[in-house]
Amino acid sequence: MKVDLVMWAKNGARTLPQVLKRINEVIPGENVVNRIVVDDASNDNTVQIAEAYGWKVIANEGSGISDGANTALKHVETDFFASFEQDVLLSWAWWSRIPRLLRTKKVAIASGVRLPSVACLQSINEFAIERSARSPSPEYFRTLDNTIYKTKTIRHLGGFSSLKGSVGVDSALRQRIYECGFEWKVDYTVRSVHLKSFLDELKTQYWYGSNAREVAATLGRKRVFLKSFAKLLFSPMRGFEIAIKKGNVQAMFMYPALRLANFIGVFNCHCKS
């Protein structure tokens, strides 16, 4: 299988060296045609780092993840392409196990999952992964950060959805994939590492909440505020459940903190509208 590798990046100098080094080590060079980084006006040395690891740098034609992904897609030349994020350390098992999931005709996208580098956050995510894996119609853990695609299918669907806040690009793609009769396969045992601190994760949850209304409108969902508030209300019980099942006491406090950060984002967005 020949693939193009793409990444959209902005000020990723802190994590890019180890992330790009790992990608180059995991995916055999003979299988790679192009390595493309779409840079979103970085003001650190993201561009220089990418070029030093053999990646071609292209300027984002717009801004944010949606535009970055679509800019990258324009430059893909192979029948398959893979996307990665600047702070996700790829699993050593990724190349041997994820691309083969595309052999089934209906499977258009395949990926592993990512787990935070912080131990307690790993426990929270593992709990969520176990629940998602048991679901008859799994929705979560379909992300763009360690993912391979059939190029023709993605182009046929019109590329990546355009969302101003850059949140939910993966969710919108998942919905369109299933509506068109395709599948997005996930191997929950292939686990890459998200190089983020707990503070970074709190900021991410706030960001998700701040853009929840746009995502909900894109996906046709309602009652965003009430759902976020309900999750916050029940978060102490969920945190306790995670702590017991995963043997991590910190989850009792960290999970509610994450739900609070998300709700504050939703609340602030609600107040501005």
**Residue 223 binned pLDDT confidence (cut-offs 50, 70, 90):** confident
- Please state which architecture CATH assigns to domain 3-194: Alpha-Beta Complex (3.90)
- pLDDT one-digit tens code per residue, 109-166: 999 999 998 888 999 999 988 887 676 555 668 899 999 999 999 999 999 988 887 7
44-82: burial string, b at 16+ Cβ within 10 Å, e else: eebbebbeeeebebbebeeebbbbbbbbbbeebebebbb
**Residue 207 binned pLDDT confidence (cut-offs 50, 70, 90):** confident
Q: Are 177 and 157 spatial neighbours (Cβ–Cβ below 8 Å)? A: yes
Q: Are 106 and 115 spatial neighbours (Cβ–Cβ below 8 Å)? A: no
The answer to pTM > 0.85 is yes
Domain segments of the chain as ranges? 3-194, 198-272
Least confident residue range of 8-12, 57-61, 129-133, 183-187: 129-133
| pLDDT (average), residues 89-97 | 98
The residue type found at 207 is W
Work out the angle at residue 52's Cα, subtended by the Cα atoms of residues 51 and 54, and round it to the nearest 5 degrees.
Answer: 65
d(CA 172, CA 215): 8
d(CA 227, CA 217): 14
The residue type found at 113 is V
Hey, what's the torsion of the CAs at 239, 219, 205, 182, to 10 degrees?
Answer: 80
Q: What is the mean pLDDT of the chain?
A: 92
